Amino acid sequence: PLRRITVPAIRAGKGGTPLVMLTAYTARVAALLDPHCDMLLVGDSLAQVIYGLPSTVPVTLEMMCAHGAAVVRGAAHALVVIDMPFGSYEASKEVAFDSAARILKETGASAVKLEGGVAMAETIAFLSARGIPVMAHVGLTPQAVNALGGYGARGRSEAEAAKIIGDAQAVADAGAFAIVIEGVLEPIAVAITEAVACPTIGIGASARCDGQVLVGEDMLGLFDRTPKFVKAYGTMAAGVTDAATRYAADVRARAFPTAAETYQPKI
């Protein structure tokens, strides 16, 4: 069996073959994606993808732990990273440690991810020094949607671009083992990738990042809302519709089940 990829191995991926990351929320999908990925992210995007919620703000630790444990059970090879949900880490570094420790203990995952830059640097250093590897997330940070006012690309002004680059430098200096850069103008992602010693993982960022991440369902073509930075490599929505259409027709025509799917008494 493949040995699970480690945090130091991901860190060592800086500047090498781009790191492959996808989100997964369930055991079966995780098992299918696992052999192809260096990392699987149990993203708080499960809010929209799995739960039909309007944003990631309502996501709870309980939800992340349940789905995180499922993904760890399903995936044997990829490093599993679990998003810390909004409200579980911002108040203090101690609160963050308790939440992150609970996530690692209940799921068996190896690392957590949290959103924020300069404001989270002290927390990232605190967790990193205490055995909890942290992936940072800068640029478009969806948990801050109420402050940002939407999901548009960030860094269109010089001041905002400089702030994002400063955020990335701060979390790198604090010991983040990798940084997700989401929804920024490409030159910002390139500047960060060149400036920091840890790998950058882009989403709506740049092909020059040290790796890429997408929401698994977006990549599979299963989700309805697809931002500019998504490329659908699959056609699962069409596949589901086609299968459900034919199943419903068969049931209504009494064409399912057939003898092949029916138990008969032994003669």
Which listed option, ligand KIV, Na ion, none, makes contact with residue 23 (CB within 5 to 8 Å by class)? ligand KIV
Q: Which CB, 83 or 217, lies closer to Na ion? A: 83
Q: Does 217 bind ligand KIV (CB under 6 A)?
A: no
Distance of CA 101 to the CA centre of its chain: 19
- 115 bridge partner residues: 137
Q: Does 123 bind ligand KIV (CB under 6 A)?
A: no
Q: Which of residues 163-182 bind ligand KIV (CB under 6 A)?
A: 180, 182
Q: Which CB, 113 or 125, lies closer to ligand KIV? A: 113
Scanning the chain, the segments in alpha helix (DSSP H) are 7-11, 27-33, 46-49, 61-74, 93-107, 121-129, 145-148, 158-174, 186-195, 216-220, 236-252
Q: Does 135 bind ligand KIV (CB under 6 A)?
A: no
105 is in an annotated binding site: no
Q: What is the 3-state secondary structure (H, E, C) of 138-184?
A: EECCHHHHHHHCCCCCECCCHHHHHHHHHHHHHHHHHCCCEEEEECE
List the catalytic residue out of 94, 158, 160, 182.
182
Q: Which CB, 38 or 44, lies closer to ligand KIV? A: 44
- Per CB under 6 A, which region of 36-44, 64-72, 168-176, 254-262 contacts ligand KIV? 36-44
Q: Does 23 bind ligand KIV (CB under 6 A)?
A: yes
Q: Does 44 bind ligand KIV (CB under 6 A)?
A: yes
In 46-55, which positions are buried (b, 16+ CB within 10 angstroms) versus exposed (e)?
Answer: bbbbeeebeb
CB of 163 to Na ion, least distance (A): 20
Those residues with Cβ within 8 angstroms of residue 200's Cβ, 6 or more apart along the chain or in another chain: 168, 178, 179, 180, 181, 189, 192, 193, 209, 210, 211
The 3-state DSSP composition of the chain as helix, strand, coil percent (nearest 5) reads: 45, 15, 40
- Is 160 a catalytic site residue? no
Q: Which CB, 34 or 182, lies closer to ligand KIV? A: 182
Q: Does 83 bind ligand KIV (CB under 6 A)?
A: yes
Give dist(CA 18, CA 208) in Å, integer: 9
Catalytic residue ranges = 182
Binding-site positions for Mg(2+) read 44, 83, 115
Where does this chain bind ligand KIV (CB under 6 A)? 23, 41, 43-45, 83, 137, 180, 182, 203, 213, 215
Which residues contribute to the annotated binding site for 3-methyl-2-oxobutanoate? 44-45, 83, 113
